[in-house]
Chains A and B, each alone.
Chain A
Amino acid sequence: AQSVTQPDIHITVSEGASLELRCNYSYGATPYLFWYVQSPGQGLQLLLKYFSGDTLVQGIKGFEAEFKRSQSSFNLRKPSVHWSDAAEYFCAVAPREYGNKLVFGAGTILRVKS
């Protein structure tokens, strides 16, 4: 069965510091891969997605993610975090034959300290 693991429940970083959120997946074939962000009281917003091609994907708000097939990973990065990035981040996968049947990870709560 498909599964997504986000090993870090909480992460705290200083404003201006770099960020990496980890995501590993278990799936028979290479799925579609996504990162979503959820701010309090808001819905899930798509940050970026990987379907095929270049394994380094650029997203909104200065985020990027790298797909590593050998490690079954899709880690999210940002070189310099802003206080407004504090939110919960979800990694998700979906089968290629049905790209919106998403399987989510448990989420990582990002706190930003000034």
Chain B
Amino acid sequence: EPEVTQTPSHQVTQMGQEVILRCVPISNHLYFYWYRQILGQKVEFLVSFYNNEISEKSEIFDDQFSVERPDGSNFTLKIRSTKLEDSAMYFCANSQGENTEAFFGQGTRLTVV
């Protein structure tokens, strides 16, 4: 089965620091997504990205967040100045089309201290 790989699996950062979460997508799967799950809460949609543009974003995805494909391959989520409430599991997902199956990575657990 196709696999989405996320790095790191766990990151601890100081409040106010910038973090970058990385995702290696599946070849030829051109739609990208980030979701997050705060401990004990639901998995929430953050953003979708296609053709080097954000196509949808949620209210959570404010100016502190950004996404890009810096090298045309990896897909990243940057949080500019982390807050305690950013602590969560962040999932990258990837699909071939807009309405085809999204494959999820194993997640990055971000802990802000």
Contacts and interface: CB of A to CB of B under 8 A. Distances in A.
Interface of A: 32, 36, 41-46, 49, 51, 90, 92, 98-107
Given A90-B43, A104-B43, A105-B42, A98 B107 contact: no
Contacts of A92: 43
Interface in B34-79: 35, 41-45, 48, 56
Contact of A104 (B6, B44, B48, B99): B44
A41 B106 contact: yes
A29 B56 CA distance: 20
A44 B56 contact: no
26 contacts: A32-B99, A43-B4, A43-B103, A43-B106, A44-B93, A44-B104, A45-B104, A51-B99, A98-B48, A98-B56, A98-B99, A99-B98, A100-B33, A100-B48, A100-B93, A100-B95, A100-B100, A100-B102, A102-B35, A102-B43, A104-B42, A104-B44, A105-B42, A106-B42, A107-B42, A107-B43
Interface of B: 4, 6, 31, 33, 35, 41-45, 48, 56, 91, 93, 95, 98-107
Given A43-B106, A104-B42, A105-B42, 7 more contacts: A36-B104, A49-B101, A98-B56, A99-B98, A100-B33, A100-B98, A102-B102
Contact of A42 (B35, B103, B106): B106
Nearest to A44: B104
A62 to B, nearest CB: 17
A33 to B, nearest CB: 13
Contacts of A51: 99
Nearest to A92: B43
Contacts of B101: 46, 49
A43 B9 CA distance: 11
A43 B48 CA distance: 18
A95 B4 CA distance: 24
Contacts of A44: 43, 91, 93, 104
A51 B100 CA distance: 10
Contacts of A49: 101
